[in-house]
Amino acid sequence: MSAEAELSAVLPREGNAPARSPLPWRRIAADAGDRALPWLLPIALLALWYTGAAQGWISPQVLPPPQFVWETLRDLAKSGDLWLHVGTSFTRVGVGFAAGTLLGLVLGSAMGLSRSFEAYVLPTFNALVQIPVLAWLPFVLLIAGIGEPLKYILIAKAALVPVALNTLQGFRQTPAALREVGDVYGYDRRQQVLEIVLPHAVPTLFTGVRLGFTKAWLSLVVVELVASSEGLGYLIVYGRQLFQLDLVMAAVIVVGAIGYAIDRLLDRLETAVHRRQPGGAVP
């Protein structure tokens, strides 16, 4: 055999050349780009805000400069007022969200397990959920007064709706084949629910809980804007009444940051729940 033939036998042919794996630095750069992408728009808006305030495009009475807002936020944190209002808001949303979630799970489970109960309740429920929180405020105000129960009831109502609807959907999405397997093994209704229906409904239930918290957090701010003497929503109203828009912006930033952080936490928990399900699929 000639030297050229031996060399061609050892070297891989062009069509069969193994695919080269991407270099480590390219993978790191791609991951860094993916992580930085969601921050591009907030950074651009902050830069536009800062530039507009520095160049006088926007009146400070309309939109205060970022440094003024930061100083106000720092002063609130140092004085302890910020933590007082945050703690009050967390207490309200915690009680209302827990009550609404519990009632939503019970109502959704009852509709999911009984077609006749669903036929009686679901049409009226769908009609009532179209009424916004503020529309319920005068009616609940007559019943519960202007104290803390008013806020708990409205927050619970906001959380109840997505939890109940997602619970109903979760109970109804169990494959019929699995129910038939349960019948073959002689499962009673309790075993069918606990061992077949509920495990497949958990991801949808968790999605409902996540949406329920989002609705509860938004309703908390709305309720505190209308009837409250403490909380982040009250802080926004107080700043508007005094025409201290730096205080308003500081409170808005805190509301958005807390809501975003908790939503990210629930998103991670939801992903972990999905991975524990059969097949380990993540939506």
pLDDT at 93 (0 to 100): 92
pLDDT at 69 (0 to 100): 87
pLDDT digits 0-9 by tens, 196-251: 777 777 888 888 888 999 899 988 888 887 767 788 888 888 888 888 888 988 99
pLDDT band at residue 182 using 50, 70 and 90 as cut-offs: low
pLDDT at 11 (0 to 100): 47
pLDDT at 147 (0 to 100): 80
Residue with the bigger pLDDT between 221 and 2: it is: 221
User: What percent of the chain is modeled with pLDDT above 90?
Assistant: 15
pLDDT digits 0-9 by tens, 91-130: 999 999 999 999 999 999 888 888 888 888 888 888 888 8
pLDDT digits 0-9 by tens, 136-171: 888 888 888 778 888 899 999 999 999 999 998 888
Which segment of 1-10, 34-43, 190-199, 262-271 scores lowest on mean pLDDT? Answer: 1-10
Buried b (16+ CB within 10 A) or exposed e, 55-83: eeeeeeeebbbbebbeebbeebeeeeebe
pLDDT mean over 84-92: 91
Residue with the bigger pLDDT between 37 and 76: it is: 76
| Angstrom distances, CA of residue 42 to CA of 37, 39, 76, 157, 255 | 10, 5, 23, 32, 16
Nearest to 101 by CA among 169, 151, 158: 158
User: Are residues 203 and 58 in contact, defined by beta-carbon separation less than 8 angstroms?
Assistant: no
Rounded-to-integer distance, Cα 66 and Cα 189, Å: 60
pLDDT at 10 (0 to 100): 45
pLDDT at 283 (0 to 100): 44
Average confidence score pLDDT of the chain: 80
pLDDT at 282 (0 to 100): 44
Q: If one looks up domain 87-274 in CATH, what number appears?
A: 1.10.3720.10
pLDDT at 230 (0 to 100): 84
Report which residue type is found at 114: S
Answer whether residue 8 shows pLDDT above 80.
Answer: no
